[in-house]
Every structure is written in structure tokens, then in C-alpha cells.
Structure 1
């Protein structure tokens, strides 16, 4: 698996990352969602450099000219609910992509520090031979991404897989690198070193879903 950590090079992305981490700024849920969306746009732009292109003749008011047009047949899949703002950022750039959505959440067992990933909802088009983009804002343990990938297998084998995340822990990256196919590329905003005992990224930013949409009731 190839990993592109975009924050390793200074850009406006680092400003958006700083704002979503800031405990004062992140209290504004609308700004938090917009910053996640903008990070998705930055990652989409960087990812687009790796795609396939074909030449097309375009007629302007003055003359004809040759331009390069992206030709990947894409399916963009996001994990509900935290993945929605990131999905919006990606589809702002990949507006012709088909879309898939999956509900995957942590179900805590008797020990609050242990959990399993439960998938309850999935809507997906045919993936055979397509470019699959899996979007999950936080890669902590990596189990949610793996559970999503396993749930998508009945829909066909994609030509290539791109994973998109805002922040990830190194442990989670090592996990998905071990379990995903070799033709997988990860595009990520920043990589943090640690996970705490509950499997949350440190320093991270907190619960992305709660910050974007409000606190949820546990069941």
C-alpha cells in the first residue's frame, strides 16, 4: 500500500487541520463540517494527479484546443455519519462518481475498552473494474475501514482502491496496510503517533461525528 501524508509538505491544508483540532474553533459545528469538506477537496485534488486521463478536443469561442480529461470510472463510498462532510468535499471534485454509503459503528462489549465493528446499512453500485474511493475521516484502529471493505466484496472487484482520511494513527495505518490489497493507496491529512486504551487517536481531535452533527445517544 502506498501512503501519501499530505501535511508533510506545508500548504493551506495545515490551516484546516489546525482549526478542526482546536477545542475553541471546533465548537462551531458548521465551521467544523466546512473544514472537513475543504480537507476532502484538497485530498481529492492530490488524488486526481494519480488518475488516468485522455485527450479531448474542446471548441472555445475562438478556436479548438486539446485538453486532458480524467477518465476513471469511480465509486465514492463513505462511512456514516462522520464521513458525510468528507464525502461532500470529494464529490465537489469528482462530481461524476457513483456513490455508496455504509453504516459502520463500534459496538462495545462487556469491557468498555473492547469493541467490534457492526455494519447495519449498505447501498452500493457495481464495483467491478472501477476505481473505489473509501472515505473515513478518522483511521484509529483501522477496523472500520476493513469491515467496510469486506462488506463491499459481494459488489465486485475494483480495479484499484483509494482510501481517504483526515487524521489517522500509525497503528491503524499499519493495520490497513497489512489487510488491504497491494493496489491500495491512502491519502491522508495527518498521521498521529498514538492510540489510547479506548482506541481513540491522540492527539486527534475528538469524535468527528459528534463535532459535525451533535452528540449521539448510545444504544
Structure 2
């Protein structure tokens, strides 16, 4: 797996990551969602450099111009619900592509033990397409792996790009062992620690709750 760790190179992305993490600023849910959207936009621009392009001639009012445009068939998939703002940011840049949505959540069997439940999937055929799979937090990595296993039932992508704002080192290592060779991970920043409850430390908290409000616990 090739890992693109964007925070290693100073840019405006670091501003948005800092605001996401700030426990005071993140109480503004609209700003929180917008910052996730911005991160999706920034990462989308970087992904676009690695995709396949074709030569094309554009007819302007005054003449003709040779250029290159993307030729890949792309599907954006986000993990509900936390992935929606990130999905929107990616869609802002790849606004002509197909979209997929999947649910995945932790079902706790004890305080520290859980399994990943996938209950909903709406997706086009993924065969021979470029899959951009978005989830803002990559903690243990089990959710992304379970998500991809479910998606594999609707086709085999030619390329896979994973997009996340913050990851744990443990999660990165886990998905590296379970995704196909050649998968690319685009991550804002990587934190070293994962606590006993499989939350990223320092991380930022629960991205879904911060974006959309607290949910009832089952």
C-alpha cells in the first residue's frame, strides 16, 4: 500500500486539521462539517494527479485548444454517517462521477470488544472502475476492511483510493495487510496511539457526533 501522508508537507490542510481537533472550535458543527469537506477537496486534487487522462480538443469561441481531461470511471463511496461531509468535498471536485453509500458501525460485545456490522449498501457496479472510499477516521481499520468486503460483492475495482482525515498507525498497518496490493491511502495526519477502546489518541473524538449531533447508544 502506498501511503500519502499529507500533513508531512506544510499546507493549508494543517489549518483545517487543527480546527477539527480543537475541542472548542469543533463544537461548531457547521465549521466541523465544512472543514471535513475542505479536506476532501484538497485530497481530491492530489488524487487527480495520479489518475489516467486523455487528450482532448476544446472548441472555444475564438479557436481550438488541446488539453487533457480525466478518463477514469470513478465511484465515490462514503461510510455513513460520518463520511458524508468528506464525500461532499470529493464530489465537489469529481462532480460527474457515480456514488455509493454504505453503513458500518461498531456493535459492542463488551466495553473494549466489538464487531463491525454492515447493514446498508447502495452502489453501482464497481468492475474495472476507480473506487474512492472515504471515512474521516481510520482507527482500528476494521470498519474499512468490512466495508470493502461488502463492496467486493458488487464488483472488483481497477484502482482503490482510501481517503481519511486522521488515522492511527495501528489502523494503517491493519488495512495494509487486508486491502489489495496497489491500494493508495490518502490521509491528512497519522497519530501513533490507539487506546483500549479503539479510539485514536489524540484524534478528535467522534466525527459523526461532532458533524451531526450525538446519537443514542445501543
TM superposition score normalised by structure 2: 0.99
Between the aligned partners of 2:31 and 2:153, the Cα distance in structure 1 is: 37
Q: Which residue of the partner structure matches residue 138 of structure 2?
A: 139
Between the aligned partners of 1:77 and 1:91, the Cα distance in structure 2 is: 10
Between the aligned partners of 1:73 and 1:96, the Cα distance in structure 2 is: 10
Between the aligned partners of 1:194 and 1:99, the Cα distance in structure 2 is: 33
What SS is found at the alignment partner of 1:158? Answer: coil
| Displacement after TM superposition at 1:156 (Å) | 1.1
Between the aligned partners of 1:153 and 1:43, the Cα distance in structure 2 is: 24
Between the aligned partners of 2:90 and 2:178, the Cα distance in structure 1 is: 24
| Displacement after TM superposition at 1:8 (Å) | 0.5
How many residue pairs end up in the alignment? 218
Q: Which residue of the partner structure matches residue 170 of structure 1?
A: 169
Which ranges in structure 2 are unaligned for 5 or more consecutive residues? none
Which ranges in structure 1 are unaligned for 5 or more consecutive residues? none
Question: For 1:86-131, what per-residue CA distance to the aligned partner results, in whole angstroms no more than 9, with x for missing partners?
Answer: 000000001111111001000000x211100000111111010000
Q: Which residue of the partner structure matches residue 59 of structure 1?
A: 59
Question: For 1:44-69, what per-residue CA distance to the aligned partner results, in whole angstroms no more than 9, with x for missing partners?
Answer: 00111000000111112222110110
Between the aligned partners of 2:208 and 2:151, the Cα distance in structure 1 is: 22
Q: Which residue of the partner structure matches residue 205 of structure 1?
A: 204
Q: Which residue of the partner structure matches residue 49 of structure 1?
A: 49
Question: For 1:163-216, what per-residue CA distance to the aligned partner results, in whole angstroms no more than 9, with x for missing partners?
Answer: 000000000000000111002000010000000100000000000000000000
CA RMSD of aligned residues (A): 0.6
Between the aligned partners of 1:217 and 1:82, the Cα distance in structure 2 is: 15
Between the aligned partners of 2:158 and 2:215, the Cα distance in structure 1 is: 37
TM superposition score normalised by structure 1: 0.98
Residue pairs, 1:75-154, within 5 angstroms:
75-109=75-109, 111-154=110-153
Between the aligned partners of 1:56 and 1:106, the Cα distance in structure 2 is: 46
What SS is found at the alignment partner of 2:119? Answer: strand
